[in-house]
Amino acid sequence: MIRSSLSRLSALASAAAAVLVVLAAPALAQQGPQAQEKVLNIYSARHYQTDEALFDDFTKATGIRINRVDSDDAGVVNRLKSEGAASPADVVLLVDAARLWRAEVDGLFQPVRSKVLQERIPAQLRSKDEGQGSAWFGFSTRARLIVYDKSRVKAADVDQYEKLALPVNKGLVCTRSGSHPYNLSLFGAMLEHLGPEKAEVWLKGVVANMARPPKGGDTDQIRAVASGECGVAIANSYYFARLMRSKKPEDREVVEKVGVLFPNQADHGTHVNVAGAAVARHAKHREAAVQFLEYLSSAQAQEYFANGNNEWPAVSGTALANPALKALGSFKSETVPISVVGMNQVKVQQILDRVGFK
């Protein structure tokens, strides 16, 4: 009797379980690939307010919700390495060519073949295509400018990066750390232009001409020139453009005191760096990730980069309403592939160690 009752209870439990599975099936389907495509996880080293609008507009246009993890470039890369295959990251945003190249070499990206990106992003602003697509793409650019004290330095004495090593600039040069990625990328480009031996002589001359040991960021270099501490400095263009657009009297005063120029206009052109993006190696939402990269090359996104954050757009023909970029004017940029600049960073660091560029 007891055994018979247990049998009936077991049968009822099995039937109930079957009903629950049927009822749960629609809910489980919500978690399938179609639902996953509505989410995109981004690891970002960009910390600009205008990017918020850029992300929001992507969500409005596609319905894909963005989850974002913010850190600096080193933090993003270290997190990707530590998480490995378990990483939820779909898209990675970094702000320097050397960092993008290093992450590619470390196997943190997966190649993307997109007709849209190949047509819109110039070849020198994306990683080399080895037959499967590019590992990363540059979506905005910034020039490495020379800023000088108009009251005591002649533009003709500093209109080339190479001239920073001349005796006429003894005791005048200021920079941030030589090992900072922005400088590593510039020096990587100069290594390509000059060759290893001449590049080392040049960097040794720059060190000999320093007004003080390297310190601070690019804005600090510009302010140091305005204050008279330095005679000439190197800075990324968007830092100077921010000062140009500032309403603060002290910032306006800095802009008035200094001269700014695009170096090497008579030969190989001014060094240009990139902010770029890639699809993470273990992306769970690859289709949405590629869609986001293509969105970054759209006219709308390119205008955000230019008009919101003072970066030059990577896509030609983008409408430019930014008054600071317009005032700086057009210039000749170098054509050394960004991937080559990244590859040169190891040799550059060795040279910096030898010449004592801290």
DSSP string over 87-151? ----EEEES-HHHHHHHHHTT-EE-B--HHHHHHS-GGGB----SS-BS-EEEEEEEEEEEEETT
Q: Are 345 and 191 within 8 A, CB to CB? A: no
Please tell me whether residue 333 adopts helix, strand or coil conformation: strand
The C-alpha angle with vertex 342 and arms to 338 and 344, in degrees rounded to 5, equals 115
pLDDT per residue over 84-138, tens digit each?
999 999 999 999 888 898 899 999 999 999 999 999 999 989 998 888 899 999 9
Q: What is the pTM of this model?
A: 0.84
Check pLDDT > 50 for residue 302: yes
Q: How many CB atoms lie within 10 A of CB 97?
A: 35
Q: Average pLDDT for residues 297-315, to the nearest whole number?
A: 92
Average pLDDT over residues 252-277: 96
pLDDT-based confidence at residue 258 (cuts at 50, 70, 90): very high
Banded model confidence at residue 324, pLDDT cuts 50, 70, 90: very high
Ordered structural domains, the chain, with CATH: 36-140+273-320 (3.40.190.10), 143-271+339-355 (3.40.190.10)
Is residue 25's pLDDT more than 80?
A: no
pLDDT for 97 equals 84
- The reported pLDDT for the residue numbered 170 is 98
Which helix (H) or strand (E) segment is 260 a member of?
strand 258-261
pLDDT tens track for 51-96: 888 999 999 999 999 999 999 888 999 999 999 999 999 999 999 8
Q: Are 80 and 105 in contact (CB under 8 A)?
A: no
Q: What is the distance between the alpha carbons of residues 177 and 179, in angstroms, rounded to a whole number?
A: 5
Q: What is the mean pLDDT of residues 224-237?
A: 97
Q: Are 108 and 82 in contact (CB under 8 A)?
A: no
Please name the residue that has the structure tokens 């990244």: 342
In this predicted structure, the answer to whether residue 139 has a pLDDT above a threshold of 90 is: yes
Q: What pLDDT score does 21 carry?
A: 31
- Measured distance CA(61)–CA(329) in Å, rounded: 33
91 neighbors 283 (Cβ within 8 angstroms): yes
What is the per-residue pLDDT for 13? 40
Rounded Cα–Cα distance for residues 206 and 270 (Å):
18
- pLDDT range class, residue 31, cuts 50, 70, 90: very low
Residue 317's pLDDT is: 87
Query: How far is CA 343 from its chain centroid?
Result: 16
Percent of the chain with pLDDT over 70: 90
Q: How confident is the model at residue 187 (pLDDT cuts 50, 70, 90)?
A: very high
Q: How confident is residue 10, by pLDDT bands cut at 50, 70 and 90?
A: very low
Q: Which pLDDT does position 7 carry in this prediction?
A: 41
